[in-house]
Structure formats: C-alpha cells, structure tokens
Chain A
Amino acid sequence: MTPQRAETLEWLVQRASAAVLALCVIVHLTVIVLAVQGGVTAKEIAGRVGGSVPWLAFYSVFVIAVALHAPAGLRNILREYTSLGRRATHWIMAAVCVLILGLGFRAVVGLYGLGA
C-alpha cells in the first residue's frame, strides 16, 4: 500500500469511527441519565450489564471505535506540536491503540463477567 493510500484510509477510519462514537456517546449518556434517577449502585450496574450479550456487544463496539479514533487524533497532535518523525508517531499510535483495546476490553469483559 502506498503511503498516500494509507494516510487517506486512516483519515477515513478516523471519521467513520467518530460517527460511531457519536452514537455510542449518545446511548451511553442517555443510559447514565436514566439510570441515575433515584440513585445508582454498583449492584444495579452489574445487574444491567453483567451477563448481557447486547451490552457486551455495544461496549465492544465502543472500545474498538475509541481505539481507532483516539490514536489517529493523538498522532496528528504529535505531528503538529512536536518534531517527532513519522515513524515515531506511527509506533506511538499503534501502542496507544493496543493500550486502549487492552484496558477497554478488560473493563468490558470484567463487567460482563459480573453476571455470570
């Protein structure tokens, strides 16, 4: 793949993941607003998401979208504000992506497991 094609597709992925994130954030905030009515407890959260396949799927999509979107944005910031080379920013981007996936799925799987 040419670097031009890679840059362009990466830009597309960043935009597409932003669109997915916009929906995810709306769902997430709506659930928070509704759930917090009358107070919220850990037990209640575990009761809702624990063992629930739809929530597992939703938060998996959420984590993947963040893992695609945030590193691309971070790389642009590093390119504009630091003198790091393209190779360095690529590796930082990859590392942040893996980090977000790792932490995100740890939380998602952990919450799912509460219902088991």
Chain B
Amino acid sequence: MSNDTLTVEIWRGREEGEFQTFQVPRMASQTVLDIVTYVQRNLDPGLSYRFACRVGVCGSCAMTVNGKPRWTCRTHVDKVAGDGTLRIQPLKNLPVIRDLAVDMTEFFQKWTRAQAHFVPTATRGDDFAQVSPDDPRRKEASAGIECINCGVCYSACDTVAWLGDYLGPAALNRAWTLVNDERDGGQAARLKAIAGAGGCQSCHSHQSCFELCPKHLNPTAAIAGLKRATVKAALKGEI
C-alpha cells in the first residue's frame, strides 16, 4: 500500500455479485462516502448508492464498511481502514437493489406494523400540551427521539437475520418514545402490536444496535422498557 492511495473493494450486483477493486487517492478528512462518490464520478459512473444530506441528518447513506454497518457520510476513512483497505457492501438484512443501494421498504413497513406513529388526542382548538423537560417519561422519550432512520441498527441485529418477522431495534425504539409520550392516544394498540410474534420479547439484548447506532441511541434499553410495559399490560389483561 502506498500512503496516497487506498485499495477499495466495492460490492457490485445484487444478492449475487462480486467485489470490484478500485484505487482511490487519499485525502485529508476523507469519509467513506467521499470514497464511494469518487469512484462513481471518476472510475465507474454505473455504481449505484444512496445519499442526500452528507452531514448525518437524512439517514440514507448507510452501508456495510469493513463488516460493520456505518453512516458513511460521517465515517472517516482513518477510523475504519486501519490496514489501508476498505471493503464496502450494502447493508445486511435488507434486499439489495443494486450495488450499495438496499430496498428499505421492509424496514419502514415494520415501523408501521409497530404502530410507531403519533396518535393525536388534542384538536386544533386545544392549547399546546405542556410537557415538563424534567418529567421522567419525557426524558425517556428524549433519549430515543433523535433517530435518523438510517437502518444501521437493523442491519447490525442478528435477531432480524434469524427471525424474519422481528420488528427490529429502530421501530421498537420509536415505539418506546411514543409509549412515553403523554399526548399520545394509541397506547393499547401499540403495546399489542409490539407484544406479539416478532415483537419486543424476541430481542436478545446483545446490544449490537446500541454499539453501532451513529446517533448513540440505545434501542436495547428502549426495548427493555417495552418488555416491562408489555408485561404490565399483559398482567392487567390490557393486551
């Protein structure tokens, strides 16, 4: 390896395919997304991948980098390519559309299945709800709210790989923020949706999601909260 170029292996194809090797010039503060963009603009315009904001907001650029899912626009090459090689693949646990772009449909369908959406109780005639920042439930919700839907946790989760109908860390994390939203009116239906087959009880608590979430959220803790909430509801016969 020379210091001014990097050997990059990039997945080409769909589920069936192969790695293609490129030599990419190194630059200061270069991100993995910079590398992929360089390849697409200078070496192979046919390379398919997805990104939008380039600043860690939109959640569209996640890929598997040297075996681990990462948000590529905020992942510096220095951090992940210690030995001077970089292997970039599409996210795991989702169908590959082409090259580095995966189909996120199933990921978002599971958010819907988990009832991970706000159900309003107030009308436009009502005043704003006052929720104290010190309220314990508000704090629980705040801890999980900054999810950017990148799918990194979903791709890192072995249970998703083993159990096809498992809702996965992101949808469950979002559900937990809503369970803690005092303005929300969809609690019973939500707890029911996340308690059954493929629900929160399927989580093995091995925390890959927590380890790799680029926003440092802790879906494992959120899911533990859901386990407690569903047990309470089951004992009371509410679900």
Instruction: Using CB atoms and an 8 Å cutoff, list the residues of chain A in contact with chain B.
Output: 2-5, 7-9, 11-12, 76, 79-81, 86
Contacts and interface: CB of A to CB of B under 8 A. Distances in A.
B197 interface: yes
Contacts of A2: 192, 196, 239
14 contacts: A3-B196, A4-B192, A4-B196, A4-B230, A5-B234, A5-B237, A7-B201, A8-B230, A8-B231, A8-B234, A8-B239, A76-B202, A80-B159, A86-B197
Contacts of B231: 8-9, 11-12
Nearest to B232: A8
Contacts, number: 44
Interface in B225-239: 227, 230-231, 233-235, 237, 239
Given A11-B201, A11-B227, A4 B162 contact: no
Given A2-B239, A86-B197, A9 B234 contact: yes
Contact of B195 (A8, A79, A80, A86): A8
B163 interface: yes
A99 B48 CA distance: 55
B234 A80 contact: no
Given A3-B196, A7-B197, A12 B234 contact: yes
Which of B162, B201, B231, B237 has the most chain A CB within a 10 Å cutoff?
B201
